[in-house]
């Protein structure tokens, strides 16, 4: 029988050993709270997105269902649930039905390791405001996001539609490209925190947030989380302009609603993970925590966490209303040629700094070494781009100087001196209806 921690002097900061002692009803309550929180966050995210983008585009947005249109998301959910569920004849029905489930379930699981606040008292039991924690909790989020992509790929493959198949293939390539860079952006956080536990990472930011110490990692994560969420400017798997609707073209009713739900839950999960890893988690910002000793205790940290979470969600919405969709080659180039090499170089630099600090080297020397290394890398990059640009310019000049062969490629091309009527006046070109014979033929045909 596990010992229950009863009310008493509760520790402010939970640790990994804190979890596993809660009674069954408290564990079930946490799971229910997380589920309800995610569903309500999806409904509110849809409403906020429509209102904000409507404001940016000088429109009103939803204002009919409920006060200020707050019930518009609920009305859309009811509408999708009551619509006819159409399943095309040629689809693989088992995979077609399971694909939305495979996409939505991992999205719910990922949020269980996000800490909402410190240890509090709930009906006489001290418990952390977090579903659970693991020694490799952050890797759980990466694993669940990878599982969610299986739902998209299977949906595209089982639909037996070229548009859906192309959307699924795009999604798999996109996630492979950006999930590697996302994982690399976490390595620097693990090096500074000394753990992969979300609770330990939040505790390691008690003095200074990692967004200050590891700003390049934060920038890389922000870019990759847009690629992971399949939203503008990286919504290539849907691509309404060229793929109709992408991987969910053939879906309707509740199956389509589950894809919709998974997208917005991933939006909340990625925002919460960014808050946990880089913005101190549930800890209050520096001015508030400096002047108020109780800002990081009790239930107040839930407020700071929600403010940071919704700031990230608003950032997602702002990008959707501001940026156009990028080309697919630009998407791949950014992931493979920019983010990954930069992340690897940044990890080497961070690891070197940590090793020098462990050896007792002064921070001034470390900063000087880091500045020299960054300057050298920047200089080499500029030189490389200049040399590459000259090579491209020379190749382009040679291509322009060489005469073009009109018959290249095997297609028949008429010679330039062939007779044509482009240079003659319209009056000089005979028209069949202008001749006497044509008139007679037309007249005889009529009579």
**Using one digit for the tens of pLDDT, what is the confidence trace for 348-384?**
888 888 887 777 777 666 667 776 776 777 677 777 7
Tell whether the torsion through CA atoms of 264, 266, 268 and 270 is positive or negative: negative
Percent of the chain having pLDDT more than 90?
A: 8
Residue 389 lies in a domain: no
User: Which residue range(s) make up the domain with 313?
Assistant: 16-285+294-384
Residue 48 lies in a domain: yes
Distances (CA, A) of 194 to 66, 245, 282: 48, 43, 19
Residue 225 lies in a domain: yes
Structure tokens at 321: 């209303």
Lowest model confidence (mean pLDDT) among 67-81, 198-212, 229-243, 256-270:
229-243
Q: pTM here?
A: 0.77
- Of the candidates 226, 227, 231, 102, the one whose C-alpha atom is nearest the C-alpha of residue 156 is 102
pLDDT: is 376 or 52 the higher one?
A: 52
Angle at 317 between CA 281 and CA 177, to 5 degrees: 75
Mean pLDDT across 200-226: 87
> Please, are residues 310 and 268 in contact by the beta-carbon 8 Å criterion?
no
pLDDT of residue 240: 65
307's CB contacts (< 8 A; 6+ apart) are: none
- Of the candidates 109, 106, 240, the one whose C-alpha atom is nearest the C-alpha of residue 175 is 106
Neighbouring C-alpha atoms within 13 Å toward the C-beta of 131: 16
pLDDT of residue 172: 80
Q: What value does the mean pLDDT of the chain take? A: 79
pLDDT of residue 148: 81
Mean pLDDT across 423-441: 49
Structure tokens at 162: 């070229």
Q: State yes or no: pLDDT of 447 exceeds 50.
A: no
Lowest model confidence (mean pLDDT) among 132-136, 187-191, 304-308, 324-328:
324-328
Lowest model confidence (mean pLDDT) among 63-77, 162-176, 268-282:
162-176
SS3 of 364-408: the string is: HHHHHHHHHHHHHHHHHHHHHHHHHHHHHHHHHHHHHHCCCCCCC
Residue 1 lies in a domain: no
Residue 42 lies in a domain: yes
Domain count, the chain: 1
Residue 432 lies in a domain: no
pLDDT of residue 92: 82
Residue 246 lies in a domain: yes
Residue 10 lies in a domain: no
pLDDT of residue 241: 65
């Amino acid at each position: 029988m596990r010992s229950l921690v009863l009310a008493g002097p509760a520790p402010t900061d939970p640790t990994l050993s804190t979890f596993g002692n809660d009674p069954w009803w408290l564990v079930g309550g946490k799971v229910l709270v997380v589920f309800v929180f995610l569903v309500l966050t999806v409904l509110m995210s849809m409403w906020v997105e429509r209102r904000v983008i409507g404001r940016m585009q000088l429109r009103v947005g939803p204002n009919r269902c409920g006060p200020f249109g707050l019930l518009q998301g609920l009305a859309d959910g009811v509408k999708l649930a009551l619509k006819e569920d159409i399943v095309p004849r040629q689809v693989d029905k088992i995979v077609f039905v399971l694909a939305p489930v495979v996409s939505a379930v991992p999205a719910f699981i990922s949020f269980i390791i996000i800490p909402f606040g410190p240890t509090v008292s709930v009906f006489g039991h001290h418990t952390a405001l977090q579903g659970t924690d693991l020694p490799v909790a952050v890797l759980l989020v990466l694993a669940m996001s990878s599982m969610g992509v299986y739902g998209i790929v299977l949906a595209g493959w089982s639909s037996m539609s070229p548009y859906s198949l192309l959307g699924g293939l795009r999604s798999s390539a996109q996630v492979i490209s950006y999930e590697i860079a996302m994982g690399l952006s976490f390595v620097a956080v693990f090096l500074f925190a000394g753990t992969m536990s979300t609770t330990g990472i939040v505790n390691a930011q008690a003095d200074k947030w990692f967004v200050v110490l590891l700003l390049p990692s934060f920038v890389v994560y922000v870019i990759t989380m847009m690629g992971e969420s399949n939203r503008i400017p990286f919504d290539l798997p849907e691509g309404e302009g060229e793929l109709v609707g992408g991987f969910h073209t053939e879906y309707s009713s509740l199956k389509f609603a589950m894809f919709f739900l998974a997208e917005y839950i991933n939006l909340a999960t990625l925002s919460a993970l960014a808050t946990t890893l880089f913005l101190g988690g549930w800890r209050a910002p520096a001015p508030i925590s400096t002047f108020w000793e109780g800002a990081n205790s009790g239930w107040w940290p839930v407020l700071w966490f929600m403010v940071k979470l919704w700031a990230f969600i608003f950032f997602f919405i702002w990008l959707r209303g501001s940026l156009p969709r990028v080309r697919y080659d630009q998407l791949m180039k950014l992931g493979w040629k920019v983010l990954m090499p930069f992340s690897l170089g940044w990890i080497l630099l961070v690891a070197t700094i940590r090793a020098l600090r462990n050896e007792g080297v002064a921070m001034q020397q470390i900063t000087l070494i880091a500045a020299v290394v960054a300057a050298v890398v920047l200089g080499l990059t500029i030189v490389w781009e200049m040399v590459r640009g000259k090579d491209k310019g020379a190749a382009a000049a040679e291509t322009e100087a060489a005469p073009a062969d009109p018959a290249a490629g095997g297609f028949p091309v008429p010679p330039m001196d062939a007779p044509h009527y482009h240079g003659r006046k319209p009056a000089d070109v005979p028209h069949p209806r202008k001749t006497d014979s044509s008139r007679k033929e037309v007249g005889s045909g009529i009579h």
